[in-house]
Amino acid sequence: MRRGRWRTIVALYAAAAVVLALGSGVATQAQPPRVLVVAQSADMATGDPAKNTGLATIAVLANIYDTLVHRDASLNLKPGLALSWRAVDPTTWEFKLRKGVRFHDGEPFNAETVKFSFDRMLDPKTRWPGAGALQLIKAVTVVDDGTVRFTTSQPWPSMPRFLGYYGMIVPPGYLKQNGDDALARHPVGTGPYRFVRWVKDDRVELEANPDYWGGRPKISRVVIRVIPTDAARVAELLAGSVQLANLVPPELFGALKTSSKTKLVVGKSLSVFFVIYNLVNIAKDKPLADPRVRQALNYAIDRQAILASVMHNVGTPVATFCTAVMTGCDTSIPPFRYDPGRARALLREAGYADGFDFSISGTSGTYPGDRDITLAVADQLNRIGVRARVHVTEVGVQLRAVLDRKLPEDGWFTRFTDFFGISTIIPLPAFYSPGEWSQWRPGYAPFNQLVEAAQAAPDEAKLREVSRRLQLMYKEQAPAITLFTAPNANGMSRDLEWTPRPDLELTMFDASWNRR
């Protein structure tokens, strides 16, 4: 009996050892990947596109749902669920819809479903966080089964561009029958992939929609996994168990470039890094009240050096608030060149030859490279005599201070992104005085007027013209140290072909295997 117990214990340990050893054999069989495994750092929050506007959510849902307008990987507008669109008059857009499209559950798509989807999105009870972006839509009316009209409260030439990102069409019958929570758990759209399964915080499984109006996707099964740790995401790529990982941070670029199995693919970016000056009720005798000082700090930054040392040369210096891929961004306006001599001269002119104290509120781990970029900026400012210091803060606390206009620091390191891809959008929240995040208060009236003019532009030609004037004025007034684009860096398996999208959607419709 006693001997028996001793044996049991030994046997238990032995069994554990065998189990551990056997585990090795089972997991190793490398097969040619048929299922495409994509990894991002966060899970989608919900399967209902009218509940969340988070990046990770839209990235997944863009496979399941369609919008009226599609955008290709260069953000050119293409027919989506709408075949064509035209402005009937300055405040009315008419969309002709694709015929014969069905939702994944068989429900037909038509003008009624479009009206239902937009009414639902814009209903305050839905609590859609993106409603503000589409607030100019006053009414959606059904003309006939294949035609809808959008009435706007003012001329809105860029509306189709907005509908290329927001406005996923949901099935009314499914929602009425099963309720909102059902769509949140089990999304049903018209998109290229059908929802199969969702294990929260682990994976979303999708399968190709054979009846997709755009043709059957080349890759039939896609799993979108959630791997929060960057290093683990890249390790999975190196091991071959994941074929695409998005938003890889700069410190891991090296591993992807050197491995024989992987490649680093950089997409166009819609994001800009800034150190935005805290100009809230700034007294006239403060250094930052003088535009020459604000410009001087821009001349003091060697953007290429920071890109080379921190970002592995991924990124492009930016002149103003827009990136090259955005509509109306004038790429002939050059970024501030690195000229410490000019920076010192401007400081002398403004009466600050001995420099001044300048504190920057930064984050760590919120944006790729954030902490290192901020430290590099501070270091470069110190070289022209500006005594710069960085305070790293948790992002929630920082944003709260920014919103309340109570930021204790003189500058705020952040990233602004415009997923609609229009050059005049970022100034609205970031630099227009009444803007939600603006620290330029009361600000500069001519700039504010130009931002308003851009919002009211009757057509795209006018929008481009106003945008150019706005960019020039921004550069001259310099309400921020404008840095460079934020990276859109993706680690990919060498046998996968896919073009990263500037809007960071992980649509796998155009992905394919490249068999060598």
Partner 1 sequence: MSGYLVRRLALSATAMLGVITIVFVLLHVSGDPASLLVTQDATRQDMERIRQAYGLDRPLSVQYARFIARVARGDLGYSYRQGLPVTELIADHLGATFELALASLAVAILLGVALGMAAATRRGSGVDTAAMTVALLGTSMPSFWLGLLLIIVFGVKLGWLPISGYGGWDHLVMPAFVLGGFYAAQVSRLTRTSLLEVLAQDYIRTGRAKGLRDRVVLFKHALRNAALPVLTVLGLSFGQMLGGALIVESIFAWPGMGRLAVQAVLGRDFPVVQGATIVGAAVFLAVNLTVDLVYGWVDPRLRSAAQRA
- Site for partner 1, residues 303 to 362, rule: CB under 8 A: none
Please provide residue 511's backbone torsions phi and psi, each rounded to the nearest 5 degrees.
-85, 150
* Footprint on residues 27-66 left by partner 1 (CB under 8 A): 27-28, 30, 42, 45-46, 48, 51-54
Among 11, 14, 18, 23, binds partner 1 (CB under 8 A): 23
Q: Compute the residue count for the chain.
A: 516
CB-based contact 485:369 (threshold 8 Å): no
Q: How far is the CB of 261 from partner 1 (least distance, A)?
A: 10
Task: Establish if 136 lies at the interface with partner 1 (CB under 8 A).
Answer: no
Closer Cβ to partner 1, 270 or 347, answer by number: 270
Choose the stretch contacting partner 1; rule: CB under 8 A; options: 198-206, 214-222, 288-296, 316-324.
198-206
Give the CA distances from residue 368 to residues 318, 325, 372, in Å, rounded to whole numbers and listed in that order: 17, 20, 9
Q: Where is 75: in which H helix or E strand?
A: none
Angle between helices 370-383 and 303-310 (to 10 degrees): 140
Task: Establish if 201 lies at the interface with partner 1 (CB under 8 A).
Answer: yes
DSSP secondary structure, 306-322, as one string: HHHHHSTT-S-B-SSS-
Task: Map residues 364-383 to x or -, x wherever contact with partner 1 holds by CB under 8 A.
Answer: --------------------
Please provide residue 393's backbone torsions phi and psi, each rounded to the nearest 5 degrees.
-130, 155
In the chain the first and final C-alpha atoms are separated, in Å, by 63
Q: How far is the CB of 69 from partner 1 (least distance, A)?
A: 17
Among 70, 71, 98, 203, binds partner 1 (CB under 8 A): 203
Task: Establish if 239 lies at the interface with partner 1 (CB under 8 A).
Answer: yes
Q: How far is the CB of 301 from partner 1 (least distance, A)?
A: 23
> Which single residue is written with the structure tokens 């009218």?
50
Beta bridge partners of 152: 137
Choose the stretch contacting partner 1; rule: CB under 8 A; options: 81-89, 147-155, 284-292, 415-423.
415-423
Residue type, 356: F
Choose the stretch contacting partner 1; rule: CB under 8 A; options: 194-202, 311-319, 462-470, 504-512.
194-202
Q: How far is the CB of 30 from partner 1 (least distance, A)?
A: 7
Closer Cβ to partner 1, 285 or 404, answer by number: 404
DSSP secondary structure, 432-458, as one string: STTSTT--EES--HHHHHHHHHHHT-S
Choose the stretch contacting partner 1; rule: CB under 8 A; options: 207-215, 322-330, 412-420, 489-497.
412-420
Among 11, 199, 353, 456, binds partner 1 (CB under 8 A): 199
Closer Cβ to partner 1, 98 or 415, answer by number: 415
* Footprint on residues 208-237 left by partner 1 (CB under 8 A): 225-229, 231-232, 235-236
Among 72, 123, 144, 181, binds partner 1 (CB under 8 A): 181
Give dist(CA 15, CA 318) in Å, integer: 61
Q: Which of 100, 78, 191 is nearest to 145 (CA)?
A: 100
**Dihedral angle sign, alpha carbons of residues 510, 250, 313, 438:** positive
